[in-house]
Every structure is written in C-alpha cells, then in structure tokens.
Amino acid sequence: MTVVNSMNFLKKLTNYKWHLMAVIVFASGVYYYTQVYQANDTEEAQSFYVVDTVERGEVTSGIQTTGDIIAAQKLDIDVYKQLSRIDVVNVSNGSHVEAGDVLISFDKSDAYVDTESSKVAVAEARLALQEEQGNVNDPNTQIRTKENQIEGYKKTITDSKQDIEDAFRDFLNEDLETVPHADLLAALQDRTEPTLSGRYVSDVEGQYIIEVYASGADSGYSYKVSGLESMTEAVIFGKAVDLGTRGLKITFPNDTRTNDKWVVYVPNTEIATYSETKQNYETTVADLEKAIVDAEVNLANAEQELVDLKQTDSSSYRDLNVEKAETTLAEAQQRLSQNYDVVQERDIVAPFSGTVEGMENVVAGATPTGGTSDTINLGTLISDEFLTTFSLGATDVAKVSVGQKVKVTVTSFAEQPVFEATITQISSLPESTGVAQYEIQAKLEYDRTTAELVLREGMLADIEVVEEENADALRVPASAITYEQGVPKVTVVDKLTEEQQLEANRMGIVRTSGATIATYEVEVELGIVGQYYVEIVGGLSEGDIIVSSSLTESTTESVVQQAGFGPGDGGQRPAEAQTSEGGAAPSN
C-alpha cells in the first residue's frame, strides 16, 4: 500500500468516528492479548481483519453539520399556580403524562358551593321565565296566581295554629305511664304496674288516681277513678278498659290486689326527661308562632300586590315581565358558566404528552404563597415530540427547503439507530452580525413508546441534510474504500478457512498468526458517497466479503509495535482462485 493511500485511508477514518472507535477498542484488545499471553513470543505477527458483507441498504449523502436536540414544546406549569391549597398531586419529577391528564388539583370546595348555588338560581330563573311566558296569553293568570298565594298564606296560618294545638296534645301524651301512688310507694315498689294505651285528647292538665277494691265483679275487683275524671268500673285482667272518657285506656295485670293505688300524671312531670320534653314543645310552638307572623306579613303584602296587579293587568306589563325574566335567566346562566370555569381552572391539565421535570416542594396540603419567597415550583412539562436545531451558512442554506429529509444521530449514542427528521422551519434572518448563519429546525420522527433511545432536551446531534439517497443501494462501509491515483478500490477476501468463517460470522473479525488471509483488490465504480456507507455501482456483487480495516502487530522484547494499519494485502486476484470460497460475514 502506498504512503498516499495510507494517508487517505487514515483521513477517511477520522471522518467515521464509530468505526474508528471500534478499531481502537479492537487494537486495545490486541495489545492486552499480546502483552499478557504472548510476552515471550518475539517473532510471530498477529493480523486482524474487520470484514463485511456487500449488502443492499440505504445510502445517503448531503450537508453535514452538528446541532442540538430540543423539545418541540415546553410548558412552564408554574404560570398556572393558584394561591389555594393543593389537593391532589398526580405527578413527580420524571413522570410521563398523556395529553388530558390532570397533573395537579387545587382546593375546589368553595367553587363547588358557588356552582351548586348558581345551578339553583338558573333553575329558579327558568321556572320564572316559563311562568311569565305563560302569563302573556292569559291576562288573569298573574291575578289568579296571587289569589292562590293569598289562599296559601291563609292556609299556612290556619295549619300553624292547628299544629300548635297538636303540639300541646303531643306534649301532654309524651311518656305517659302509671306509677305507684305516694301513699303506697313502698308496697308497690316491686309490683307490675298497669299499662296505658290510647291517646289523651283533652287540653286539661292534671292527674288520674286509680284505686282497686274487692267487688262482686267476675275478676273479684273493681277500680275507682278520681282526679281529672271520676268513674267506677270492673277490673278485667289483661284487657284494656277505659280510663275516663278522654281517650286513655288501662290494662290491669293478673297480680292486681285490693287497695292497689296508682297515679297517671298528665303531662308526665315525674319522668327524668320532662324538662327536655317541655323545652322541645316550647321551641316548636315558638317556630309555629313565627311562621304565623311571617305568613300574616306575606298575606298582607300579597293582598296589596293583588290590588296592584288588578290595576296593571295589561299586555305591555306582561311583555315587560317576560323580558325581565329572560334577563334574570341569562345572568344566572352566565354566573353558572363562570363558576364552571373556576372549577376547571383548579385542575392543571396536560395540553400535550410529555415528561414533567423541575418540580420543587409540590405536595398535597401545601399552599403556594406567591412572590419571591414562594418555595413551591410546579415544574415544566417537556413534550414527547422533539426537534433538532442546527445552523447553516448562506451557501448551504440555499440548498435546503422546508420538507427536506434530515438524518440525525445523537452524538453520545452513535451506535443507536439514525433518526429521520423533516425540516419544518428555515430562518430568514442570520443569527449574528458576523459570518451569516441561519437557524434551521427539523421535526424528528420519534415515538417514545418504541424508541431504543429516550431523547432528552439538550442532547448533541450529528446532522446530515439529505441531498441524495438510494433506499436499495448495493453498499459497503465507507472505511472499506481506498484510492490509488484517484481510482477507488476495495479489498475482497478470496477465501477463508472454516475456523475463520465461524469467527467472521460470530464477531465480524478474522485473526491470523504469522500469515495473512488471501485477498485481492478490485476497482469499483461509486455512486452516492455517504458519511457511513458508499453506493457501489460496479465492481462488486451482493454477498462478496470485503475487508473494512485491518491491523498487523508483532512483539519484540515484549514491546508491541504497529506494523501496518489498512486494508489486507492487495494485488491482482490469483489466477488459480477464480471463485469465492468464503462464506458471508455479518456487516457493521
């Protein structure tokens, strides 16, 4: 190989960094191997060949530069901060969200109350409008309505007065029971008392005294009643008999005896809850009396309004009432809509899919204070869609257009697949006053759910604006091309041993000791010359095995020296080897 060819080859390698990186790692392994295992072997040389198979695939060529990866959209969530308590936090730093997800919710209790109140106001206004619209075609409707209201107020007054009477009766009947008379308290202490039933229907307070005596009745006993009423009747065991004429009945037990004496207090002032019962009764009466007063005031007002209605019962007045009702309904609906907006604004909803970063001190229960002393930061939402930005000079920018394809490789992850992008924006103004550079944006074809590499804001990228491309080209790695007096050539592997073939299939590398593999050079006709691959128009066939790069090292006195670095031994193909005996090796 000539000195010029070696220099060209090394120059090409500097352009194709990941191939160079692979060779460096490869050379390091060789160094380690020769140092550790072959320190005593001072004469035998080791040769290593990186081999590839001629294959079909995509080849592109275009303008090459570098750029940055940026998010297509970034939302400062902090601008939606509210000075109210944080109720719910659904995200944390690094959380991925979908468009429409609720990120953070603030306290809505006051907004819910206002919304429910507005709903009631709308319903009332709608009913009022319907009533006024019905009144338009019936001049007497409002008057009849007011007359019905008057009757309703009168009924309220009457019913409330009756309720007062009923409340007093309930008070008198509360917890009525028979208890031993004070004269026989000790004697009747352990006896079963007679039971009461029925309802006391009088308004007179007092007590019933029941005395049992022997008689000629079937049971052998009779009873005498005094106090609120006076009467004498035969005792019938186990059956309710009248206790006077005011609704109460009494049932005597089987162990009733002569001279038993019982008392019924109306109301039952002897029970422990009497004070509470009396207070409840007085409260009920006070409420009913207030209802009567309110109804009497409403009645007086309604009667005056009826007089006014009869004086203003005309179509113009009815039309005006409809307009007023419509206005009231519109105002109520507007307030309801505003309250709905307030409720929705208490939720911060993701407008696009992305990842949340930069949150600080965001926890449920915390309340932002606003101002410079506020330690709560709601963070930033970074979209799942990414752009690449790069700059081109005036000459190159004239060659590109919106919609043109771009190949993007993340600089730190050169072994990852190449991303495709499409130019979406070309700046019309230069970025600086010095050498004109125009910023260009291209949107990446990137799906976060399936991508092998998760893109992040700020990553560096190698850019190729595609000017030529062939999706089904016969191609070889760019490092396999050498030039001799301007003529492109490729080193082809003539044949491999079975062991070498297995090694090539497994690692893409062939190693020899003290000898080189059989190769020959062929002139090739090139098509598109890309950054990583070169299109072969003529000179090679699909499936041919070629040498992309090679390394020969020997050890002398345990010191490794590089003997050669480049394609395998070139030359004309041996006359005795007219067909390839080597198998296919995996391509890079």
pLDDT of residue 168: 94
pLDDT in tens, 493-540: 988 888 888 888 888 888 887 777 888 999 999 999 988 899 999 999
Mutual orientation of helices 274-311 and 141-173 as an angle, nearest 10°? Answer: 170
Q: What are 54-109's pLDDT values in tens digits?
A: 999 988 889 999 999 999 999 999 888 888 899 999 999 989 999 999 999 999 88
Q: What is the pLDDT of residue 43?
A: 52
Would you say residue 24 has pLDDT above 80? no
Residue pair 439/391 in contact by the 8 Å Cβ criterion = yes
Cβ atoms of 78 and 484 closer than 8 Å:
no
Mean pLDDT of the chain: 83
Answer whether residue 567 shows pLDDT above 80.
no
pLDDT at 46 over 90: no
DSSP character string of 59-83: EEEEEEEEEEEEES-EEEGGGG--S
Task: Check residue 27 and give its pLDDT.
Answer: 52
Helix (H, G, I), strand (E, B) or coil at 584: coil
CA–CA gap between residue 74 and residue 356 (Å, rounded): 10
What pLDDT does residue 238 have? 92
Rounded to 10 degrees, the C-alpha dihedral 112/114/116/120 comes to 180
How much of the chain, in percent, has pLDDT values that exceed 70?
Answer: 84
**39 pLDDT tier (thresholds 50, 70, 90):** very low
E strand or H helix at 139: none
Give the pair of three-digit tokens for residue 56: 């079909």
Structure confidence at residue 18 (pLDDT): 45
Comparing 449 with 148, which gets the higher pLDDT? 148
Separation between Cα atoms, residue 110 and residue 429, nearest integer Å: 51
The Cα–Cα gap between 33 and 173 comes to: 111
* Amino acid, res. 214: A
Distance from C-alpha of 222 to C-alpha of 235, rounded to nearest angstrom: 5
CA 24 to chain centre: 48
Dihedral of the alpha carbons of 165, 171, 172, 174, in degrees to the nearest 10? 140
For residues 440 and 402, what is the distance between their CA atoms, to the nearest angstrom? Answer: 9
Return d(Cα 125, Cα 461) in angstroms, integer. 64
Cβ neighbours for 506, distance < 8 A, ≥ 6 positions apart: none
User: Could you give the percent of the chain with pLDDT greater than 90?
Assistant: 55
Cα–Cα distance, 407 to 527 (Å, whole number): 19
